[in-house]
A and B are shown apart, each in its own frame.
Chain A
Amino acid sequence: MSNNSVVNITNLLKQFPVGGDYFTALSDINLNLENAEFMGLVGPSGSGKTTLLNIIGGLDSPTKGNVNVLGMELGSSSHNERANLRKTKMGFIFQSYNLLPVYTVFENVELPLILNKVETQERNRLVTQAVDWVGLSDKIDSRPAQLSGGECQRTAIARAIVHKPTLILADEPTANLDAENSHHIMNIMVRLNKELDTSFIFATHDEKIMAYLRRIIHLEDGQIVKDEHFDNPKSGKN
């Protein structure tokens, strides 16, 4: 594990109890993610990519093995420590956006900063900046119900980046979007990755996303079957 390592996983096993037996969702996973990587976990449904993403995000715990994320050993950490790691150093982007319906764009984006106890003035500046980044300045007072799918996902991205996390985990971020919006979203994330050195891990089976990735980890039946690196992926253009 290098000093530059964001995620380091060794011999990960994840099983779920099913009836009186166990279903193995992930086995023998070994993975290292360096800073500012733009990586995708790719595979068919049920291959274990969302489970792996959740374990990296500390939302789920490993059955066996070591998972070190941003210097914290997740297997031996408490709920509160993992929550604190997510709050300060991680951002999440979900397939179905998971915006809070009663909040405006501004308030949704502001939420991680409130949790991080950022001062009001600084909060306003960072939210405005993040919303500007994703091109939603004109929708800042709208509620999710008043936004299109693409706009909702851009709000979710703004929420994920507003506190400048080191690692962003995105679970099928373009699954509910059309091609144009998907490319728009991916361009924003590529830009973030380049300008802020933010590491990204995507769980996807969307080929449009794959074209942007510099590293693709192929999962099948809970195991890594291929680890590909690309020097010149599509970036910053449609």
Chain B
Amino acid sequence: MLFNLAIKNLIGAGMRTWLNVFVTAVSFFMIIFISGMYDGMRSHAKQVTIDTEVAGGAYWHPKYDPLDPFSYEDSHGIPPEEIRDLIKNEKAFSILVSQASIYPSGRMMPVMMKGIEPEQSIINLPTRSLLKETDGLIPVLMGNSMANYTKLKVGDSFAIRWLDANRTYDADEGLIVYIMETENFKVDMGTIWIPLERAQTMLDMKNEATYITFAKNISTVQEKENWIYRDVDYLMRDMEAMIAADEPNARIMYAILLALAGMGIFNSQILSIFRRRKEIGTLMAIGMTRSRVVGLFTLEGGMNAFFALIMTLVLGGPVFIYFSMYGIPLPIDYTEMGLIMAKRLIPVYTMGLFVSTTLFISFVVLVLSYLPSRRIAKMKPTDALRGKVV
């Protein structure tokens, strides 16, 4: 009975209903849209890190600690035979890390110098550019942000100074062979990439490496001699920690959006319910109980949320599909701020996001419909009939 009455009331109210539904639908849309963007940012950051840095995991030299640059001097060695087999079969590649100083335009700048196998295809870095002929100069690959910071461009040369395995400083001229566009600041800022063999020669660390990155979907999980196996989860833990640290921000954002949506819904529900005081009085006079009046108005609120969901899917669906296919262009380059973010952000709209948002907003709408109607239903029928304000 209440369902039929609620349907009649909603359809009969015409424009008023559709305005309420529209406000709720806009709330639905905004929450899904912003949450999708947020999820897209996080998913993209993870994807880029795996794609350009982590791949399927790594074996670390036992003394290697990426957060302690002083460990680099000692964290190098010849990988165990099993790992070398992986490298030989192109399922892994070596990286040799050392501290160095560069002198672009006469300024000194400490950097992390990474020797990488130029022909690797396991991570998505343009390392083949390091094969370019440089007349004896050290071919150097660097990221866009690093190049901007050092004001270097392709073809520029600069001095590089390093400490070799014998604790002797040496220096040579480097030549920028390629500047890569990358969103991963960890392979960009403060890092120069040179060919592995050249690095091994410069550092007097023949056949040595600091860590070995291996391809995805390789089931070599056990430790190789004393080299430490690091899986993707371990290598992503900084990123996960960043995301986890960002979780409260996401929740605050969600709460703010929900509060804004809630205020809109509450406002329209209050208006709708309070202007129908006389109607409520009439329903009571002809024998509707208070609980049924509350039930009727709450049900109307619930149906409002349901119609809003349909409207969101019909009107917002194509927008969601378009953005999830073509992305949203971002006005500024966030990578300069140390954030892994695409220039065109692809939002991620999951079924979970739709379901949780729908359930949550429907619950909020039900509560926001229930509260004012309960208050109205508590009025004396005579006051409600007179349209008296509570």
Most buried by B among A102, A115, A117: A102
B286 partner residues in chain A, CB cutoff 8 A: 86-87, 91-92, 111-112, 115, 159
Contact B287 A112 (CB under 8 A): yes
A48 within 8 A of B: no
Measured between alpha carbons, how far is A59 from B287 in the docked complex, in Å? 10
- Stretch among B23-31, B247-255, B274-282 lining the A interface: B274-282
A85 partner residues in chain B, CB cutoff 8 A: 287
Measured between alpha carbons, how far is A88 from B287 in the docked complex, in Å? 8
Q: Return B27 CB to nearest CB of chain A, in Å.
A: 25
Interface residues of B, dominant DSSP: helix
- Chain B contributes a number of interface residues (CB within 8 A of A) equal to 26
Checking A59, A87, A94, A101 against B288 with a beta-carbon cut-off of 8 angstroms, the contacting residue is A87
- Stretch among A76-84, A187-195, A218-226 lining the B interface: A76-84
Measured between alpha carbons, how far is A98 from B283 in the docked complex, in Å? 10
Most buried by A among B14, B289, B290: B289
A80 partner residues in chain B, CB cutoff 8 A: 289, 291
A-B pair count, CB < 8 Å, reads 71
- Stretch among B5-13, B146-154, B330-338 lining the A interface: B5-13
A18-62, CB < 8 A from B: 54, 57, 59-60
Contact B12 A103 (CB under 8 A): yes
A59-B381, A60-B382, A114-B4 as given contacts; A102 in contact with B287, CB under 8 Å: no
Contact A103 B8 (CB under 8 A): yes
A102-B12, A102-B13 as given contacts; A79 in contact with B285, CB under 8 Å: no
B375 within 8 A of A: no
Contact B285 A98 (CB under 8 A): yes
A179 within 8 A of B: no
A100 within 8 A of B: yes
B67 partner residues in chain A, CB cutoff 8 A: none
Contact A114 B1 (CB under 8 A): yes
Chain A to chain B contacts (Cβ below 8 Å), 27 pairs: A59-B285, A59-B381, A59-B382, A60-B381, A83-B284, A83-B288, A83-B289, A86-B287, A87-B287, A87-B288, A90-B287, A92-B285, A94-B282, A94-B285, A98-B385, A100-B279, A102-B8, A102-B9, A102-B13, A103-B12, A107-B8, A111-B286, A114-B5, A115-B1, A115-B286, A115-B288, A117-B1
Measured between alpha carbons, how far is A90 from B282 in the docked complex, in Å? 13
